[in-house]
Amino acid sequence: MLAEAVGKSITPGSFVEAAYCALSVYVGVCLWRVTATALGWLKVYFITAGSLLALVLLSDIVARSVPREGGPIGLMLWTVVWYLYFHKSKRVRLTYGRNL
């Protein structure tokens, strides 16, 4: 019924994007507030991000298309950089008591 009201713009992908956005905001707030579960949620975020990026890359390969411009490859590099930061940083260890 909601989809009829706004047209056919609501897709399963839009729900995935909304859930991913909500997870991103929640993890950011947990990290900002330095909660005890922040690094656990960050791990969930990185696993989710990696899985979604892999699915996008696989869909491009299956469709035999060139990867989207500035899309999954750039995001994958960005995700790897942040993972390495949270995994190796001394500042993260001092702030959260451990690294990712």
Q: Which pLDDT value is given to residue 65? A: 65
Enter the pTM of the model. Answer: 0.76
What is the chain's pLDDT, residue by residue, as a tens digit (100 residues)? 455 555 566 677 788 888 999 999 999 999 999 999 999 999 999 999 988 888 888 877 777 766 566 667 778 888 899 999 999 999 999 998 888 8
* Contact (Cβ atoms closer than 8 angstroms) between residue 79 and residue 53: yes
Q: Which pLDDT value is given to residue 6? A: 54
CA distances from 73 to 9, 45, 69, 83, 99 (A): 26, 17, 9, 15, 25
Q: Which pLDDT value is given to residue 48? A: 92
Q: Which residues contact 68 (CB under 8 A, 6 or more apart)?
A: 56, 60
